[in-house]
Copies of this chain bind each other. A is one copy, B any other.
Amino acid sequence: MWYKLRLNLNKLTPAQVIVTYYLLAVTIATILLSLPIAHKSGAEWSFLDAIFTAVSAVSVTGLTVVSTVDTFNTTGIFILMFVLQFGGIGIMTLGTFFWLIVGKKIGLKERRLIMTDQNQTSLAGLVSLLKQILLLIIFIEIVGAFILGVYFLGYYPTWQQAFIHGLFASVSATTNAGFDITGQSLIPYANDYFVQFITIILLTLGAIGFPVLIETKDYLMSKKRNKHHFSLYSKITTVTFFGLMIFGTLVIFLFEYNRFFDGMEWHEAFFYSFFQSATTRNGGLATMNVAEFSIPTLLVMSALMFIGASPSSVGGGIRTTTFALNILFLFHFAKGNQTIKVFKREIHHQDVIKSLVVTMMAIFICFLSVIILTFTEDHSIMEIVFEVASAFGTTGLSMGITSELSSIGKCVIIVLMFIGRVGILSFLFMIGGKEKTAKYHYPKERVIIG
């Protein structure tokens, strides 16, 4: 039986296996989070809510239909952290780690699985990479937990409470989960720039992509720093990541200058802009009620969430590199160039095609979701667009409609979070199939384009 299952797994494409693994993780998470020992007495908890919370946790989105702090007791909080950890670092990473622990050699087949999950294109050094990822993330989380825990001693009556809040805040930030146990995101720390600053650093370390972290670590530890090469991927994603962060900060600051920020000190307005921009990469935590922003700001934030974080990170969306390649492509096409050159490298044509597929499919899926939700929900288009972008980007920000969604609405958001986390390419390959080479050809004929 087990043997047969293994055989069947071997017949599946990597993308299909990844999706199967995620489905398995969601099932386990649903069961774990539904355990009675995890709940406070009297907490309301339907089966659909359980699935919603499990998908939101595994995909580290952070959208919630029930209040985390009102539903889960301390045991529940630890189970939730465990699920976030699984989701954030990626099931394949942990799977590989367990394989390493029990001493099994990782064959080419397994390596290829991981490759698809983290979307790596080089097989070399993958095993050692995964070890490093895990150690690095846990290291970051512990440092974050310690700093925040010590700082929270001033906020909470006992050191246990301070450190549990510190640990949860650190794990939630590093995995970009966006879950909170304050009951109101980071609003209690709206004027605490230290907590915000640490949180933004942790969010960024989680969302900027593991390869960037590893390459930076290698660079810092290398003795011949001038000979160290950063990969094209790292350069593109880092520039895009911080470019979007700066762009978002500027736009929010300017758009809300005479509106939400009216009468505020410049540093308050700046930190509100900066944090809310940074959080759209993938964090999902907020220092204010985003529904108070005006429509243009919310549209830009929706676009930023839709773009999302780096690939090979804890984030979702179409990913930074996809967006960067789209922009580079349009720019070079308009200039009439045949090849896309950036950082003294040429972009592979196949990658450009992939990036266009991802974006188009994502726009199509999100537009379809908006139409369905405007049909089933009794909320404004802005609230719905924001919710859809947040779910697809696995960001977790909301204008406050999540808990009021209808059953169909919840299902749509569940699917969006799932696709956002798995990634459009894996999703497409799952429903599609393996790459084929054409067996026959027809004559080519030109067509008039708009």
Contacts and interface: CB of A to CB of B under 8 A. Distances in A.
Interface string A321-361: 11001100110011111110100111110010111111111
A318 B450 CA distance: 5
A335 B339 CA distance: 26
A442 interface: yes
A66 to B, nearest CB: 28
B356 A356 contact: yes
Interface stretch (A16-24, A85-93, A421-429): A421-429
Contacts of A319: 448-450
Nearest to A424: B450
Contact of A330 (B347, B357, B444): B357
Interface residues of A, number: 89
Given A255-B375, A360-B326, A432-B335, A449 B119 contact: yes
Nearest to A441: B346
B353 A333 contact: yes
A360 B449 CA distance: 14
A236 interface: yes
A431 interface: yes
A433 interface: yes
Interface string A45-89: 000000000000000000000000000000000000000000000
Contacts of A181: none
A279 to B, nearest CB: 19
A128 interface: no
A338 B299 CA distance: 36
A236 B209 CA distance: 42
Minimum-distance CB pairs A-B, first 4? A319-B450, A334-B432, A336-B435, A232-B445
